[in-house]
Amino acid sequence: MTSPQSGTSSSAPPADRAEPELQRHFDDTIAHNQRIEPRDWMPEGYRRTLIRQIAQHAHSEIIGMQPEGEWITRAPSLRRKAILFAKVQDEAGHGLYLYSAAETLGADRADLTERLIEGRQKYSSIFNYPTPTFADVGVIGWFVDGAAICNQVPLCRSSYGPYARAMVRVCKEESFHQRQGYELLLTMMRGTDEQRAMVQDAVDRWWWPSLMMFGPPDDDSPNSAQSMAWKIKRHTNDELRQRFVDMTVPQAEKLGVTLPDPELRWNEERGHHDFGTPDWSELKRVISGDGPCNAQRMERRRTAHEEGAWVREAAAAHAAKQDKRREEGSAA
Ligand SMILES: [Fe+2]
Ligand SMILES: [Fe+2]
């Protein structure tokens, strides 16, 4: 991994003298809610934290194509196929913006991909659950893309410019994803008893894993405080989880499904819904590689990477040829 920052400070005073001043400038920028841009000085911890978060986010978009991608060839109509195709393609696009954002911090995309494939970097736990019925496509759109919106809308105000700007377009597309999922479920709920049962079954399976998407509870989330201070993150895991529950309950009522939590109820005093505790040991298990589909997801990603080797080689050869032509042109 290279660090372009160290190479751009030729006009700055020597690092040992400059650092407190640069740190002050960085702190002021954050305090005034202004953006840190790629050419600005930033503390190493800030850079490392961002690279890790953006890479994990990018990996999640790419791995996240798999659970629903399995349904593209089996979608029940041409219309559903076209919608699903567009949605899964959007997720590929999100992955690419995010890898590009990580590159502005000096990360190398090939290196990040390698880290994912070797299991050294994580992706969201949610994509390790199976999609046995077409109702899963709808529930993923509704819950998983809904949770992504809760997570990502505040990231549009993240302190790092390229990340925040990438989130603006990503969020617009996520809201299309959520609506297509919800519309699919509305259609199924107007169908047969079997279809309604299929929707309820998918809701039962995805509810708790969706709540886990926001990460461990705040008192077990050691990096959160620093990320909040740096304004990379704007809300804690528990705040975002609450926001998701409050947003989803009325949608469930309108749809006519039951969220599988006996403790779920409106709390007048708090002005929020109370809800039960997710099984945090399950989250730990899935994150550490022992979820229902971890092995399958990684295997598919690895195979896709190997099968794509010729494309990368061809693109590199083409770029080299163009460089050579340009050099010959400027020499002539
Ligand atoms: Fe996405
Ligand atoms: Fe999405």
DSSP β-bridge partners for residue 36: 160
Tell me which residues have their CB within 5 A of the ion that is ligand 2.
145, 174, 177
Q: Cα 195–60–274 angle (5° rounding)?
A: 60
- Maximum Cα–Cα distance for the chain, whole Å? 78
**Residue 106 forms part of a structural domain:** yes
Handedness of CA 112, 281, 263, 181 (dihedral sign): positive
Range of 277's domain? Answer: 26-331
Cα separation of 328 and 195, whole Å? 65
- pTM for this structure? 0.90
Closest by CA to 68, choosing from 89, 53, 48, is 89
What integer pLDDT is reported at residue 329 of this predicted model? 86
Q: Residue 2 — pLDDT band, cuts 50, 70, 90?
A: very low
**Residue 191 forms part of a structural domain:** yes
Highest mean pLDDT among 5-14, 137-146, 154-163: 137-146
Cα 173 to ligand 2 centroid, rounded to whole Å: 7
- Give the ligand at the shortest distance from the Cα of 96: 1
What integer pLDDT is reported at residue 76 of this predicted model? 95
Contact between 251 and 186 under an 8 Å Cβ cutoff? The reply is no
Contact between 138 and 202 under an 8 Å Cβ cutoff? The reply is yes
Dump pLDDT digits (tens) for 120-129: 999 999 999 9
Cα 90 to ligand 1 centroid, rounded to whole Å: 7
- Give the ligand at the shortest distance from the Cα of 92: 1
Contact between 264 and 276 under an 8 Å Cβ cutoff? The reply is yes
Q: Residue 228 — pLDDT band, cuts 50, 70, 90?
A: confident
Cα 216 to ligand 2 centroid, rounded to whole Å: 22
Residue 178: its H or E element: helix 161-189
Q: Residue 17 — pLDDT band, cuts 50, 70, 90?
A: low
**Residue 16 forms part of a structural domain:** no
Cα separation of 118 and 124, whole Å? 16
Total domains in the fold of the chain:
1
**Residue 5 forms part of a structural domain:** no
Q: Cα 72–76–79 angle (5° rounding)?
A: 80
**Residue 182 forms part of a structural domain:** yes
CATH of the domain at 100: 1.20.1260.10
**Residue 14 forms part of a structural domain:** no
Q: Residue 205 — pLDDT band, cuts 50, 70, 90?
A: very high
**Residue 126 forms part of a structural domain:** yes
Residues 6+ positions from 186 with CB-CB distance below 8 Å: 255
CA dihedral 313, 314, 318, 319 (to 10 degrees): -30
Q: Does residue 31 carry a pLDDT above 60?
A: yes
> What is the C-alpha R_g of the chain?
22
**Residue 48 forms part of a structural domain:** yes
